[in-house]
Amino acid sequence: MKSYLSPDIENRLAWQQEGQVMNSFGAFLKRRHGGRIQRVSIDAGFTCPNVDGAVARGGCNFCDNRSFSPSRRVRLQKVAEQLETGIQTVRRRYSKVSGFIAYFQPATNTYAPVEQLAEIFELALSIHPEIVGLAIGTRPDCVPESVLSLIEKLAATHEVSIEYGMQSIHDDSLRWMNRAHRHEHMINAIDRSRGRKFETCAHVILGIPSETHGMMMETAEEISRLGFDAIKLHNLYAVKGTPLGTEVLEGKVEMMEYQTYLHTLVDFLERIPPHVIVERISGDAPPDFLIAPKWCLRKSELRLDIENEFRRRGTIQGSCWTPPSVQPSARPIPPDITPEQIRSHIEQRGRLPVLKLQDQ
């Protein structure tokens, strides 16, 4: 088990004594910090190696990456302003908030020279006394050693988590999504991340058309084998302006039905270890952009139905979990396999001109 977990392991398992059916993120943060913690989403102007040609062009089939172009990004608000605005918005919505996490969300938020990443992340942590940490969304093939060392250093004083776009453990599914990385990159990234002071979250998509129920359960078992600290589960959904959106409109691809998703999700969570935090159980998009499935907008209903399904079965998260034969902490640390194309793209391009901090 990771060293930082030991003082926190009681917080991670307390949900079982509270009569909950799963280890929900909001409740966990409340226990850890003694009050409500809200994420504030930041678009720092990064692009993605799957869009700019480093590993591929076009991006993932579900991702609306048109906004990643430099011409659009120059109009972005500076990181500092986004944080201030985001904090004010949250404060208007909730009367009691104990702290904030700066969430670097769109694009690949480790795709820049490490010195520039240090500037951005340190700025975000220093801008407001109530910012308790960072969450950094990225691809598993874009975390060279220098980046992991930087994040580890930041995690010595703050709560930091890396959210890895795992999506599936099946390479055929990753190809279908045009991810332009393989599952071996995910294994490599998590094996090099484990045991450091930051937390790791796996972003997984359920409902990929070619995946059987058994294949999705294999992904659940891999989460436990690899030793993630948290998961974020999304149903596959299609938005306008994406290759997936076009295929759905043409009737070539179908999205998972509500009942199938509900049962698959509960089956999945039954295989997830109890100490793993569940950060999300579905994904959606603004109604104007969403093509399908429309049911993903009914988030409260889904949450209630999931709880009811657990109670009907008499199970909870982890009920069908079998601990892996090799403890994740005993897995060897492999050499870094970050693709050379990504390293050289960062090197040749140098500082990303569109990243904005304060008064540049």
The 147-186 site mask, x for binding ligand SF4 (CB under 6 A), equals ------------------x---------------------
Q: If you write DSSP's letter for every residue of 98-157 in order, what string do you get?
A: -EEEEEE-SS-TT-S-HHHHHHHHHHHHHS-TTEEEEEEEE-TTS--HHHHHHHHHHHTT
CB of 176 to ligand SF4, least distance (A): 13
Using CA atoms, how far apart are residues 190 and 164, in angstroms rounded to an integer? 9
The region of 46-54, 69-77, 271-279, 302-310 touching ligand SF4 under the rule CB under 6 A is 46-54
Nearer to ligand SF4, 58 or 209 (CB): 58
**Residue 85 CA, distance from chain mean position:** 23
Q: How far is the CB of 248 from ligand SF4 (least distance, A)?
A: 17
Identity of the residue, 73 or 139, whose beta carbon is nearer to ligand SF4 in the bound complex: 139
Cis preceding linkage at 293, omega within 30? yes
Site membership for ligand SF4, residue 131 (CB under 6 A): no
Closest CA to 50 of 179, 186, 205: 179
Inter-residue contact 207 to 256 (CB < 8 Å):
yes
Among 24, 38, 65, 242, binds ligand SF4 (CB under 6 A): 65
Q: Is 60 in the site for ligand SF4 (CB under 6 A)?
A: yes
Instruction: Pull the structure tokens for residue 251.
Output: 């009737």
Please name which of 141, 122, 140, 146 lies closest in space to residue 44, comparing C-alpha atoms.
Answer: 122
Q: Is 73 in the site for ligand SF4 (CB under 6 A)?
A: no
Q: Which is nearer to ligand SF4, 65 or 219 (CB)?
A: 65
CA atoms of 211 and 182, how far apart (whole Å):
16
* Contact status: 144 vs ligand SF4 (CB under 6 A): no
Residue 107 binding ligand SF4, by CB under 6 A: yes
> Distance between CA 166 and CA 43 in Å, rounded?
21
Q: Could you say which of 37, 40, 44, 48 contacts ligand SF4 (CB under 6 A)? A: 48
Min. distance of Cβ 39 from ligand SF4 in angstroms? 18
- Distance in Å, CB of 179 to ligand SF4, minimum: 6
Least distance to ligand SF4 from the beta carbon of 309, Å? 29
**From candidates 11, 24, 38, 50, binder to ligand SF4 by CB under 6 A:** 50
SS3 for 240? coil
Give, in order, the Cα–Cα distances in Å from 262 to each of 88, 221, 252, 257.
35, 18, 23, 9
Nearer to ligand SF4, 64 or 122 (CB): 64
CB of 181 to ligand SF4, least distance (A): 8
Query: For ligand SF4, which stretch binds (CB under 6 A), given 59-67, 77-85, 127-135, 236-244?
Result: 59-67
CB-wise, 47 or 264, nearer to ligand SF4? 47
CB of 180 to ligand SF4, least distance (A): 8
Number of residues that bind ligand SF4 (CB under 6 A): 11
CA angle, corner 215, sides to 213 and 216, nearest 5? Answer: 65
Among 2, 73, 139, 356, binds ligand SF4 (CB under 6 A): 139
62 touches 244 (CB < 8 A): yes
Q: Are 239 and 285 in contact (CB under 8 A)?
A: yes
C-alpha span between 14 and 200 (Å, rounded): 20
CB closer to ligand SF4, 21 vs 44:
44
Q: How far is the CB of 258 from ligand SF4 (least distance, A)?
A: 24
Using the rule CB under 6 A, give the single segment among 44-52, 252-260, 305-313, 323-331 that binds ligand SF4: 44-52
Mark out the alpha helices in 35-78 (DSSP H runs): 70-73
Does 51 participate in binding ligand SF4 (rule CB under 6 A)? yes
Which of 112, 102, 98 is CA-nearest to residue 82? Answer: 102
Euclidean distance between CA atoms 337 and 204, whole angstroms: 22
Q: What is the binding site for ligand SF4 (CB under 6 A)?
A: 48, 50-51, 59-60, 63, 65, 107-108, 139, 165
